[in-house]
Amino acid sequence: MRFFIDTANLDQIKEAHDLGILDGVTTNPSLMAKEGIKGQDAIMQHYRDICAIVDGPVSAEVISTDFEGMVAEGKKLAAIHDNIVVKIPMIKDGIKAIKWFTDNGIQTNCTLVFSAGQAILAAKAGATMVSPFIGRIDDGSWDGVKLIEQIVNIYNAQGFMTEVLAASIRSPLHIVRCAEVGADICTCPLSSITGLLKHPLTDIGLAQFMADAKNL
């Protein structure tokens, strides 16, 4: 399973990259706004800055919601860097846009996916990745990881090449469960990635080793 970080914060992207386990980045308009990035030039420059840190797919989301707007915007985003993946919302015009990008050799990430039916449509249109939002599904008392498992099984049964990118990750346990059910990629906040490091027995064991090392 590949690890992406779900943020537009350059310091956090650098920190995850320095761990040596980072495979890519996902952003969205909310994450970009959180960093105070305003205006077209600043947005483009920010994606360039991210691509300079991470040598892997960087999802950049369109803001338009009509076919022509998404294609025009996506073309500009894709021209920034070879690693840019155009992120398109799961709506009718979005499916048409994903098909257009597929036919024109541009990678896409279909976002805001909450059902297996939506994931099938995205795969039919040729999306490179599909992003089910598992944390938001859990928020409604459904089981987000079960949806990941269902989509993985459908894609395997049907031979779809679209990768399952588990998004809206809220905890290290989400990452572990997504790995268990065969997600291709998890996109996570830095806290969930570093949370995987934690175990009290590791801390206790290391303290003992360090204490005993004084007697060497």
Minimum CB distance to ligand G3P smaller for 128 or for 131: 131
Instruction: Give the orientation angle of helix 172-180 with respect to helix 144-158, to 10 degrees.
Output: 30
119 binds ligand G3P (CB under 6 A): no
2 binds ligand G3P (CB under 6 A): no
Active site residue 87: yes
96 binds ligand G3P (CB under 6 A): no
187 binds ligand G3P (CB under 6 A): yes
The kind and range of the H/E element at 111 are strand 108-113
Contact flags string 34-73 toward ligand G3P, x per CB under 6 A: ----------------------------------------
State the number of binding residues for ligand G3P (CB under 6 A): 10
Question: Is the CB of residue 73 less than 8 Å from the CB of residue 40?
Answer: no
135 binds ligand G3P (CB under 6 A): yes
For residue 65, give the DSSP letter: -
- Least Å distance, CB 188 to ligand G3P, is 9
- Least Å distance, CB 162 to ligand G3P, is 16
Question: Is the CB of residue 70 less than 8 Å from the CB of residue 94?
Answer: yes
| Bridge pairing between strands 24-26 and 129-132 | unpaired
Minimum CB distance to ligand G3P smaller for 68 or for 84: 84
Q: Which of 87, 92, 96, 198 is catalytic?
A: 87
Binding range to ligand G3P, per CB under 6 A, among 9-17, 34-42, 127-135, 177-185 = 127-135
Question: Is the CB of residue 185 less than 8 Å from the CB of residue 2?
Answer: yes
Cα gap 108→123, rounded to integer Å: 11
Cα gap 67→190, rounded to integer Å: 33
Binding range to ligand G3P, per CB under 6 A, among 10-18, 130-138, 146-154, 191-199 = 130-138
- Least Å distance, CB 41 to ligand G3P, is 24
Report the sign of the C-alpha dihedral through residues 142, 63, 83, 85, in that order. positive
Q: Which residues pair with 109 in a beta bridge?
A: 87, 129
**Tokens encoding 205:** 């064991």
133 binds ligand G3P (CB under 6 A): yes
Residue with tokens 């999802």: 59
Residues that bind ligand G3P (CB under 6 A): 6, 26, 28, 131, 133, 135-136, 167-168, 187
Q: Annotated active-site positions, please?
A: 87
